A and B are shown apart, each in its own frame.
Chain A
């Protein structure tokens, strides 16, 4: 039973690493340039600090997931890993929400500040960003499942 649950967590962490690395890669390879009335409009992820933070946070999440796979589950570091899991989940959630805030402005604009929506001119860039956010969202959901499993292992014995 314990072995099955340990194998389950191993698999979940692998999946989370895959999801976060694909989110980072998809966002990093998003660039598009169009010409509008003779002016070239170029869209790269480096032009927005939120997207840069998104790539870096997902890269950190992937690296952390792969590192944790190397730790044997019964060592004293496993308690440390539970705390770090919460911190990494927080980081990934923050990355998604920051990228989501900027993409919302890019898609719908903000009439009160005079910011026009740009997704109409660079649809492929917007699709790339959408795909990256979906991958990162999957990563966060998997981290949530891992956290729930850790809580179940810790708090389960406490419940009557």
Chain B
């Protein structure tokens, strides 16, 4: 009776471990999707507006204003940071069958700690510039630009939200990997 119970609990644990492993893979996929979305949406963020400035006889002089992400160093850093984080997420997902379990866990933990800071800093810098573009700064005589380039601001906002989601998912995954590593060390002691 006791042995049957033991076998049942062993199978129950294995089932639980498998479900948890699948959940972690799903979380990692979600983080990859979030960072890739942030990178691509910000990298393709561009809006051109043309207005007729004056008339020479009957020919209009058209002046074009462009808002690109390359014009702001903070957005360039945002794209780079999210690209590096997506590469990390992709590597963690793809290299699992090719690495030993311990080496993969260590790589995931160390990389995760770095990527959490990198993505958070990229998102913070882009959020600071986005707030400046939306509200301006009257004390410095900096006018807001979002009233003129609304599509640019909208897409930038979507990329920011995706990056924040990616940063929180990365943090959750890092916490889980910390717990797993501590459990391994505790069980070895």
Contacts and interface: CB of A to CB of B under 8 A. Distances in A.
A12 interface: no
A97 B178 contact: no
B72 to A, nearest CB: 7
B185 A90 contact: no
* Chain B contact residues: helix, strand, loop or mixed: helix
Interface stretch (A3-11, A58-66, A101-109): A101-109
Interface residues of A, number: 42
Contacts, number: 111
Interface in A110-152: 110, 112-116, 118, 147, 151
Contacts of A115: 140, 142-143
Nearest to A57: B124
A98 to B, nearest CB: 4
Nearest to B122: A97
A48 interface: yes
Contacts of A157: 185, 188
A155 B177 CA distance: 12
Contacts of B110: 151
A49 B116 contact: no
B120 A101 contact: no
Nearest to A92: B117
B33 interface: no
Interface string B170-189: 01001100110110110010
B175 A83 contact: yes
B176 to A, nearest CB: 10
A154 B185 CA distance: 7
Contacts of B129: 101-102, 105
Contacts of A155: 106, 109, 181
Contact of B184 (A95, A96, A158): A158
B74 A104 contact: yes
Nearest to A147: B113
Given A79-B182, A94-B123, A101 B109 contact: no
Interface of A: 41-43, 47-50, 79, 82-83, 86-87, 89-91, 93-102, 104-106, 110, 112-116, 118, 147, 151, 154-155, 157-159
Interface of B: 66-68, 71-74, 77, 102, 106, 109-110, 113, 116-117, 120-129, 131-133, 137, 139-143, 145, 167, 171, 174-175, 178-179, 181-182, 184-185, 188
Given A50-B128, A113-B145, A155-B106, 4 more contacts: A98-B128, A101-B126, A155-B181, A157-B188
10 contacts: A48-B137, A86-B113, A101-B126, A101-B128, A101-B129, A105-B132, A110-B71, A112-B71, A151-B110, A154-B181
